[in-house]
A and B are shown apart, each in its own frame.
Chain A
């Protein structure tokens, strides 16, 4: 039952020292602008508390259990991050207040920028983009503006077929035409295809490395040389940076622009779909194109620099998700140089361990060591009448969040694949139990497929009908009243 349906006229959780004063409205707000009463729920404070506390229990989170959602890096969100980000010296600060009155926050942002520069090998950063896709858009707008100034005929962007959907969507929003590059038989970019496609109309190639199959792009040096030699730029989608910290840096590999998902690699919580933050790093020759303002330090004073002659402009109302940046900052400070390296090392070992345990039951498409995640196939279970979706739903009964399923969808992955990313946060026994559950489910598929077909059984709702939702479109309480 929604909060609207729990409403009782006259109830209230409102506790302010004033009451509604219609006379004020009538005196100062012209009649043409005054709205009729907007019907909102009326509940007491405990009604509200119970309502949302119960809803929170109907959710699965990292704090609940194992969340091996491939490509999403659902690592542990340290609680100290939350405490620091809730500091009123940060939360009760107005973004348009003077820089001199906010030196602490600006110092934090500047130091974060410096850390990210070191981790990625880039020369400058904007902290403004709100999420991965927003970062991609900022990065591609930078490339678009640079090419407009230097080589305007370059209107295309190359994107591997394995890329996240945000890559082509962002490139399109930035005004580019998207050209898809096929993958080779080892899961990397097909070099022959790249050679043919990389001409003088191509502005850039967008790469995720390790890619969405969890494989390091073996030919990255050759790709960088080829693309640069023919006048293009390299864009790094940092969705999978969790595998590489302290091991190898995108800047050293030849990437010109990178975005980082702080809500993945740098431990800020995902919040059921955001807010995140996605700083964008560039090499020096692109620094003038960064969105304004940029945090800088001059003579020990921190400031917001609006003077970037070639800037792409503003990406948002202010300077980015400061409270999210603060969480990532705290994480980096606490991990330090050795901790970040240990993180990537553990993430890689964990992914290969899960792959080793599950390979006999769910074979990987490529028999190569993986980085931070592994893509496994559930092909062949159709002969028992079950699909990967059924296997995933059954995992919920065992108390796990399912892995990412049916992604990536490119050959040879057009069929039933799941992408498992344990992250460094998980212990050996958690992964052992998870793999045991999947192996048990693979047995159930043969012996009692109905168990899978009707799964999940132990959740607050059983399978939800997506077609029904689309056909009987009810997206608000007002729609419900209408039906």
Chain B
């Protein structure tokens, strides 16, 4: 497959639409010959990231880049940022509101799930400057 890039907007507190971009990404990847196990990992990371943006981050976007050797997912938001990234990465830590918990989120597993499923995971965030996540998925051996 030739190189391909696409971005989708994510809206703050959109309980209904959040996650839709990751389903579009999954459907897009299913039309290729990429290993279904890799497609699932990309979709899980995209979905967790999308929910995080809608839940905590504010407005943002999720972008996919499909290259010859790797898939890259970038998730950026203009939200309040994360004060303590190490704490946010800890399994079980969550600052989700009651409304999002009613939707089945707030287990404190979003960022750990993303870290576990991506071959490369990078998060940059500081208070007041949003959160920026880049994840890479190798299509050929290890990156």
* Chain B associates with chain A: no
